[in-house]
């Protein structure tokens, strides 16, 4: 029997008031340790073509770091 099946069997044997307490506690646990929905999926976009500029790893000009307009001397 899985944990989920055991949990359901136990909850079914409780009074409605006790079931509400279990539900409240489960909500508390979920809030305390939220489940990440942004899990990574390896190979998800492996068949999508992509393009990378030839100068992708070239140094950036100082203006990009300093927030200056390149046209201004």
pLDDT of 37 higher than 60: yes
| Token pair listed for 53 | 């500029």
Domain ranges of the chain: 1-32
- Pick the closest to residue 11 from 29, 32, 30, 25 (CA basis): 25
Predicted local confidence at residue 71, as pLDDT: 57
Checking if the pLDDT of 23 tops 60, the result is yes
Residue 18 near residue 26 (C-beta atoms within 8 A): no
- Greatest mean pLDDT range, 9-13, 28-32, 41-45, 60-64: 9-13
């Amino acid at each position: 029997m899985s944990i989920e099946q055991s949990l359901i069997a136990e909850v079914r044997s409780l009074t409605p008031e006790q079931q509400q307490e279990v539900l409240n506690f489960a909500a508390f646990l979920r809030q305390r340790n939220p489940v990440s929905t942004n899990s990574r999926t390896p190979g998800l976009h492996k068949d999508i073509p992509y393009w990378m500029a030839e100068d992708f790893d070239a140094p950036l000009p100082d203006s990009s770091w300093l927030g200056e307009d390149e046209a201004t001397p």
